[in-house]
Amino acid sequence: MRTRARNVKNTFYLTTPIFYPNAKLHLGHAYTMTLADALARYHRRNDEKVHFLAGSDENTQKMVDAAAKAGAEPIAFLDGIVQNFMKLYASLDISYDQFIRTTDTNVHWPGAQALWELLLAAGDLYKKEYEGLYCVGHEAFITDKDLVDGKCPDHGTEPEQLREENYFFRLSKYADALREKIASDELRIVPQSRKKEILSFISGGLEDVSFSRPRRSSWPRGLGIPVPGDDSQVMYVWCDALANYISALGFGRDDALYQEFWPADVHIIGKDILRFHAAIWPAMLLSAGLPLPKTLFVHGFITSGGKKMSKTLGNVIDPEDLIDTYGPDAVRYFLLRHISPFEDGDITREGFKEAYTANLTNGLGNLVARVMKLAEEHLSGPVKLAGEDTIVSGEFAEKVETFRFNEAMDVVFEKIAVADVFMTEREPYKKIKSADASEKEVARRDIESLVRQLASIAAHLAPAMPATSKAILAAIRENRKPENLFPRL
Ligand code: MSP
């Protein structure tokens, strides 16, 4: 796609958080996936072999509870929700290469168990008694903070003080090593503010973390990964969920993909799971003697009308509603351009509609329609595009590679503005009707130039708005005005 030399390996491994399938995905999840997808598409067009991983985090008490509430058997319940994940990803054009489920006993469990065994062999797992407040309804420990008037708010019962045996992971041992790797950018954390946040967290010292739970009788066999060599225990979230990033590649099973793609080039995560990914996960890898991921890209949260989306506030925006009304590319456009990738960003239905009308209907859509109408009516055939017409600029590449998607989109929309000005100033639509042959020829060339500008715009839009990019390039190839790209709504 572009010529700038890169002396990096030509594979690119990109992961996303595996989401909990106890509820429908909302716009926040769609946001993570859109960022990841734009990055994956960019790197594919850069001739890199991309592996883009998505998945679901299924071995939790929340899942058992949600299934019970729905009156369903847990695994069947999960199958249904995972299908909804995939449906949303299909409608948003998310081009993931693999979907990992942590209940997959063939793919995920051997990887998580192999990792566990490495931690054990390193002497970093030990058994200890754990004491805490236990909610019988949850069949799990809860903390003081969870209580309302001394009772579990979900079950209305007082928790019991309970002791049980857990395996613990020696996270404390790795605090210095982690600080050094993060400070030196061997494990790069983007943006800087998150790097600072985690460094100060680690400086406060790290405590060992509980890595297993006794197997509860109510848990079906398919849920919860047995601790190797100790069937009375199942893995707790850390080794279970985080291991997905390597189990997906066949770690502990058939590791050809692991050899090819690990370490991950980028783990994309939301700010809520920074500590797991920047402290526990790299410490596990250090303990196991495995390479660390190269970069953690930590995005902010989406709010609606300045507030966290919540059913009670009535400000929840369902990504499927937006996609149904405006189409996938408009949603991707908004998320990538109007939400800062590093800070929290806000969305309202009104703001969305305004951006759609101003920038897509009146901006991009109108430009494409005007240029291609002129081309269809006045050019003898399709403009033959040269390689350079569809190379992305160094400025754009640099912004995408540093995750500044909103600025990368500004680069594209600047090109749209330039083309608009070109059209207004040079008036090819008037001159093409001139009786003067040379003026007519100037107009014809200007139309050709505008078509080339559209091709460049389409190339730059390919990672963010793939369907629009394709539609523009097809219109150019066939020299016809395309269907209305962004109808007025
Ligand atoms: N299962 C864990 C992740 C384990 S990764 C090994 C989990 N799942 S989750 O379903 O709660 O998803 C959390 C992630 O969803 C965030 O990290 C972020 O990617 C995304 N988001 C959830 N709410 C969000 C917003 N309001 N805004 C942006 N992203 C949000 O945590």
Supply the pLDDT for residue 9: 59
Whose CA is closest to atom 6 on ligand 1? 242
Q: Hey, which residues does 142 pair with through a beta bridge? A: 133
Whose CA is closest to atom 15 on ligand 1? 29
Distance CA 103, CA 74 (A): 11
- Could you write out the DSSP letters of every residue in 22-49? TS---HHHHHHHHHHHHHHHHHHHTT-E
Measured in Å, residue 26 CA sits from the centre of ligand 1 at 10
**pLDDT tens digits in sequence order for the chain, 489 residues long:** 444 444 445 999 999 999 999 888 999 999 999 999 999 999 999 999 999 999 999 998 888 888 888 999 888 999 999 999 999 999 999 999 999 999 999 999 999 999 999 999 999 999 999 888 988 777 678 888 889 999 998 889 999 998 989 999 999 999 999 999 999 999 999 999 999 999 999 999 999 999 998 887 777 767 899 999 998 899 999 999 999 999 999 999 999 999 999 999 999 999 999 999 999 999 999 999 999 999 999 999 999 989 888 778 888 899 999 999 999 999 999 999 999 999 999 999 999 999 999 999 999 999 999 999 999 999 999 999 999 999 999 999 999 999 999 999 999 999 999 999 999 999 999 999 999 999 999 999 999 999 999 999 999 999 999 999 999 999 999 999 999 999 999
Eight-state DSSP code of residue 357: I
Whose CA is closest to atom 14 on ligand 1? 270
Token pair, residue 136, equals 């019988």
- Taking the mean position of all CA atoms in its chain, how far away is CA 293? 16
C-alpha closest to that of 51 among 8, 10, 84, 86: 10
- Regarding the beta carbon of 19 and ligand 1, being less than 6 Å apart is answered yes
Please answer whether residues 39 and 97 qualify as being in contact, where contact means their C-beta atoms are separated by less than 8 angstroms: no
Distance CA 142, CA 152 (A): 8
Name the H helices within 142-277: 175-183, 192-203, 237, 244-247, 256-261, 274-275
- Regarding the beta carbon of 302 and ligand 1, being less than 6 Å apart is answered yes
Token pair, residue 246, equals 């390597």
C-alpha closest to that of 248 among 82, 81, 117, 99: 99
What is the three-class DSSP state of 216? coil
Supply the pLDDT for residue 380: 97
- Regarding the beta carbon of 29 and ligand 1, being less than 6 Å apart is answered yes
Supply the pLDDT for residue 454: 98
Whose CA is closest to atom 10 on ligand 1? 19
Specify the CATH class of 314-478 in words: mainly alpha
Residue with tokens 């539609």: 471
Token pair, residue 267, equals 């783990």
Could you tell me the pTM of the whole model?
0.94
Token pair, residue 476, equals 């150019």
Distance CA 168, CA 239 (A): 11
Q: What are phi and psi of 128, to 5 degrees?
A: -150, 155
Q: Measured at the alpha carbon of residue 408, what is the angle toward residues 271 and 96, in degrees to the nearest 5?
A: 60
- Regarding the beta carbon of 273 and ligand 1, being less than 6 Å apart is answered yes
The CATH fold assigned to 2-300 is: Rossmann fold (3.40.50)
Distance CA 469, CA 472 (A): 5
- Regarding the beta carbon of 237 and ligand 1, being less than 6 Å apart is answered no
Whose CA is closest to atom 24 on ligand 1? 28
Whose CA is closest to atom 8 on ligand 1? 19
Please answer whether residues 47 and 10 qualify as being in contact, where contact means their C-beta atoms are separated by less than 8 angstroms: yes
- Regarding the beta carbon of 340 and ligand 1, being less than 6 Å apart is answered no
Whose CA is closest to atom 19 on ligand 1? 270
Eight-state DSSP code of residue 106: T
Burial of 128 (0-12, 13-18, 19+ CB in 10 A): exposed
Measured in Å, residue 136 CA sits from the centre of ligand 1 at 27
Which ligand 1 atom is the nearest neighbour of the CA of 32? 19
Domain segments of the chain as ranges: 2-300, 314-478
Q: Hey, which residues does 14 pair with through a beta bridge? A: 52, 266
pLDDT tens profile 461-488? 999 999 999 999 999 999 999 999 999 9
Distance CA 291, CA 465 (A): 34
Supply the pLDDT for residue 22: 81
Which ligand 1 atom is the nearest neighbour of the CA of 241? 6
